[in-house]
Structure 1
Amino acid sequence: MSVSPADDGLWCRRFHPAPEAAHRLVCFPHAGGSASYYHPVSAALSPRVDVVAVQYPGRQDRRNEPLIDDVGTLADQVHHALRGWDDRPLTFFGHSMGALVGFEVARRFEREGRGPVRLFASGRRAPSRHRDDNVHRRTDDGIIAEVRAMSGTDDRLLGDDELIRMILPALRGDYRAVETYRCEPGATVDCPVTALVGDSDPKTTVDEARDWQQHTTAEFDLHVLPGGHFYLNSRAAEVLKLLGEHFAARPAQRL
């Protein structure tokens, strides 16, 4: 697997490298999630789009590395790892926690004058909308109950004590990162933003998703799909269609 000059192969995963693609999609996982969550997206879009999925520390093959429980610090390191991957237009897609990380990484790229062409913010309320959930302060059983309620993790995994012990530190650290995140007042990106949300998501209401409009100086659109927090598990076809339309509307360009 090829890597960028700034990445040692830990952060950026390309499951289906598409070196001739005119566009690159960077995918940011949810809390407790990993790069492999986006393997089906990579398979569906390759070779038209080169898909890079970000792997955070503290999970899967990086489980022995220190966790990063601060969104700003995580965004700093992801931004550094993605340098060298911007030789073609970047599109960002982040789900839940990944939407916040994608937003902050986009801001860092824009400070250098090389921001993404669009940010897809999925299953996450706008950066300025805060709730006092404090899931990261719960007992282990409380965190497991929260994940089960979100239907984002296979119940077979949640029933395996050994696997649970492996993923709990990452879950708690990610929840801490999200729940302690505070957006800078007036923070925006200059790229267009597309917000996506499930119509029965207990973590993000339609109004909270619509408030992403306040965080872009460019165009904004909102897509409400049937489902809960992980609506995209059952609505993958609609999300892939939306991504496909985005890439089809953009001219082929290599930087």
Structure 2
Amino acid sequence: MLNIHSPIAHSIIQISPPRHYASVQPNRGLVCLPHAGGNASFFRAWGMKTPPQLGLYAIQYPGREERMGDKCHTSMAQLMHELVPVFLHQFHYMPYVLLGHSMGAAVAFELCYRLEKINIAPIAIILSSHPPLNKIVPSKFHQKTTLELWQEMVRIGGTHTDIFHQKELMSILTPQLRFDYQLIEQYKPDLSIKLTTQIIVCGGDNDPDIDIECLQGWQSFSSTPIEVLTYSGGHFYLVEHAQTLIEKAEQLLRRNCIPSTRESLP
């Protein structure tokens, strides 16, 4: 178990069951990676929907919430340097599913590739609302004005127009959003990678940028057949479909955990 006083412990938040509930010890995990500008709290409501022994965890990128004083990463390599040790400490002993949304999907893919090489890969990886790595449309939103940056977030459903009337909040959130966009827009993935980990790709049927045909392109990055699921909604469809995604993660854990090598799941 990761020492909660360790510096790298701040990279991951255990949402449920709460750490002080000593009587409930998770024996499997769902680890969520948020979108650009997002934080661990985006997944906090999911904690009310998870079964007792499914640990719900969320990655907390630096520069936000309890990590407000930490410098934001501007490259995928920097983020991987931080996250790989976290998983090496925290998830070497339990089966888990990795779920990444939007930018978090690209982070999850890169992370899974590195975790496969040290034999602590997830049971499966759920990639949400992100095009395959060879279909990413180049953009430079991190160089745009603050107004243009937030207009893009409103367009994809990441926030409401009310944000334009909250100048103080915008001033706090804009730097982390800009750094996240810089990270993902400057990311140069290895397009030859094929994960051996099972890939499930999810998206909203009304996403303004990503349709089902686009999602199917993730097959190029898997050595086994992928599963593509669409749900009603836009880029942030998962807000309304949290329960379904949690149940999907549970299904994957039950299907793939081998009794002889994994703890039996209740």
Whether the 8 Å CA contact 2:35–2:101 is kept in 1: the answer is yes
Structure-2 change in CA distance of 1:70 and 1:225 (3 Å): same
Write out per-residue CA displacement over residues 87-144 of structure 1, whole angstroms, 9 at most, x where no aligned residue. 1112100000101111111111111122111000001011222202221121000001
Give unmatched runs, 5+ long, in structure 1: none
Whether the 8 Å CA contact 1:124–1:203 is kept in 2: the answer is no
Structure-2 change in CA distance of 1:3 and 1:213 (3 Å): farther
State TM-score, norm by structure 2.
0.88
Q: Which residue of 2 aligns with 1:84?
A: 89
2:81 is equivalent to residue 70 of structure 1 = no
State TM-score, norm by structure 1.
0.91
**Equivalent of 1:218 in 224, 228, 237:** 224
Runs of 4+ residues over 4 Å off in structure 1: 4-7, 154-158
Which residue identity lines up with residue 15 of structure 2 in the other structure? F
Write out per-residue CA displacement over residues 151-186 of structure 1, whole angstroms, 9 at most, x where no aligned residue. 222554453111100010111111111111121131
2:62 is equivalent to residue 60 of structure 1 = no
2:203 is equivalent to residue 205 of structure 1 = no
Structure-2 change in CA distance of 1:208 and 1:241 (3 Å): same
Q: Which residue of 1 aligns with 2:170?
A: 164
Whether the 8 Å CA contact 2:36–2:103 is kept in 1: the answer is yes
Q: CA deviation at 1:64?
A: 2.2
Whether the 8 Å CA contact 2:88–2:120 is kept in 1: the answer is no
Taking the aligned partners of 2:7 and 2:68, their CA distance within structure 1 comes to: 18
Taking the aligned partners of 1:184 and 1:2, their CA distance within structure 2 comes to: 30
Which residue identity lines up with residue 12 of structure 2 in the other structure? C
Which residue identity lines up with residue 160 of structure 1 in the other structure? Q
Q: Which residue of 1 aligns with 2:32?
A: 27
Whether the 8 Å CA contact 1:5–1:83 is kept in 2: the answer is no
Taking the aligned partners of 2:60 and 2:177, their CA distance within structure 1 comes to: 14
Q: State which drifts further: 117-126 or 67-76.
A: 67-76
Taking the aligned partners of 2:40 and 2:164, their CA distance within structure 1 comes to: 19
**Equivalent of 2:54 in 32, 39, 49:** 49
2:10 is equivalent to residue 10 of structure 1 = yes
Which residue identity lines up with residue 40 of structure 2 in the other structure? A
Structure-2 change in CA distance of 1:40 and 1:248 (3 Å): farther
Write out per-residue CA displacement over residues 29-75 of structure 1, whole angstroms, 9 at most, x where no aligned residue. 10000011111223311413111110000111212221101123212
Taking the aligned partners of 1:244 and 1:236, their CA distance within structure 2 comes to: 12
2:134 is equivalent to residue 134 of structure 1 = no
**Equivalent of 1:187 in 186, 190, 193:** 193
Taking the aligned partners of 1:188 and 1:43, their CA distance within structure 2 comes to: 35
Whether the 8 Å CA contact 1:198–1:229 is kept in 2: the answer is yes
Q: Which residue of 2 aligns with 1:152?
A: 158
RMSD of equivalent CA atoms: 2.2
Which residue identity lines up with residue 238 of structure 1 in the other structure? T
Q: CA deviation at 1:7?
A: 5.2
**Equivalent of 2:252 in 200, 223, 246:** 246
SS at match of 1:229: coil
Query: How many residue pairs get matched?
Result: 255
Which residue identity lines up with residue 95 of structure 1 in the other structure? H
Structure-2 change in CA distance of 1:65 and 1:206 (3 Å): same
Write out per-residue CA displacement over residues 203-246 of structure 1, whole angstroms, 9 at most, x where no aligned residue. 32222211111111133100011111101112223323323332
Q: Which residue of 2 aligns with 1:115?
A: 121
